[in-house]
Amino acid sequence: MKIYFITGAAGFIGSNLAKRILKDEVDCKVICLDNMNDYYDVKIKEYRLKELNKFKNFIFIKGNLADKITVENIFKEYKPEIVINLAAQAGVRYSITNPDVYIESNLIGFYNILECCRYYKVEHLVYASSSSVYGGNTKVPFSTDDKVDNPVSLYAATKKSNELLAHSYSKLYNIPSTGLRFFTVYGPAGRPDMAYFGFTNKLLKGEKIKIFNYGNCKRDFTYIDDIVEGIVRVIKKPPKKENGKDGLPIPPYAIYNIGNNHPENLLDFVNILQEELIRAKVLPEDYDFEAHKELVPMQAGDVPVTYADTIPLERDFGFKPHTSLREGLRKFAQWYKEFYMN
């Protein structure tokens, strides 16, 4: 029986990944940790957990990743072979006003995971990085070969730190680790702090939506099912343990982008979203969108474009995200209608 340990399992990516593994592998056990914080609506986290609790081989532990004893006890009791660290304090803008939680969750929490992977030998550590590590890079598409030494937010800096820490632990203790730089993940039961979700809430209340950089931002929107498919493939193929010419281990370490490789203009994104919200009957057909749009300057910590080079992902795993923005937003709008309006 394969034992998986997923942190941040009540989160958007974590819950979808846990469900996929539980559906795919009858003979497995999925141990999940989440602190259920109220950074956004806890009802959505509870909804995701309710879906996971339908599986008999799902075990949920409420706890804080920064609490070393909690994490050690999970490794001691369950001895996971595959560790997927998706727990993190998310959000670029929130990191400007609440830096403490980013240091606790993203740095101390990740350090606790690495220490346990060191002492309880694991087959593969997979962890969430972010497209935000590319910071102010202007060369596109963003490649994992690019230098990423200029983060423009604390959140981005913590994610780059995760990659550096994982590399050092891979080198020192021969731990196979793979970091995944996710690009603007969206979909049903997603994070309410993300633009598509926040826009929908505001439009429904008749409030104005702010479109940053006067609508000239581009985002590589990546549908949740594509993200999960990428993770599942990566899990099964850890970096190889090999020795170099000096007889010492070459770090079994890898980094990949998971993005749509097709950045969308923010104004086009808003137009598709409004059409799908009308189609799903979340908004009335005669809704006046122009009266509810406000073009504003760029916000601190934001970047004008995210655009993933996914060639290494295609080469090594035979996979490229493919869900169109319209298809993804249609599924979100249908879920929103069912969750909030039925």
pLDDT tens digits, residue range 95-148?
989 999 999 999 999 999 999 999 998 999 999 999 999 998 889 999 999 999
pLDDT at 212: 86
Domain-located, residue 212: no
Q: What is the CATH number of the domain that holds 93?
A: 3.40.50.720
Q: How far is CA 73 from the centre of its chain?
A: 25
pLDDT at 213: 85
pLDDT at 96: 87
**pTM of the full predicted structure?**
0.95
Domain-located, residue 285: no
Domain-located, residue 60: yes
pLDDT at 309: 96
pLDDT band, very low/low/confident/very high, at 334 (cuts 50, 70, 90)? very high
- What residue numbers bound the domain in which 94 lies? 2-185+221-261+307-318
With a CB cutoff of 8 Å and minimum separation 6, the contacts of 11 are 34, 45, 48, 86, 87, 90, 191
Give the span between the Cα atoms of 161 and 230, in whole angstroms.
22
pLDDT band, very low/low/confident/very high, at 305 (cuts 50, 70, 90)? confident
Q: Is 94 an active-site residue?
A: no
Scan for tokens 């202007």, then name that residue: 138
Domain-located, residue 282: no
Segment 183-195, tens digit of pLDDT: 999 999 999 999 9
Say how many domains are in the chain.
Answer: 1
Segment 145-172, tens digit of pLDDT: 999 999 989 999 999 999 999 999 999 9
Domain-located, residue 230: yes
Give the span between the Cα atoms of 134 and 139, in whole angstroms.
10
Furthest CA-CA distance within the chain? 70
Give the span between the Cα atoms of 37 and 80, in whole angstroms.
24
Give the span between the Cα atoms of 5 and 65, in whole angstroms.
12
pLDDT at 194: 93
The pLDDT mean for the chain works out to: 95
List the catalytic residue out of 39, 127, 134, 155.
Answer: 155
Give the span between the Cα atoms of 210 and 194, in whole angstroms.
13
Domain-located, residue 329: no
% residues pLDDT > 70 (the chain)? 100
Domain-located, residue 226: yes
Return the amino acid letter for 220.
D
Mean pLDDT, range 3-24, rounded to an integer: 98
Whether cis (ω within 30° of 0) applies to the bond prior to 192 is no
Domain-located, residue 202: no
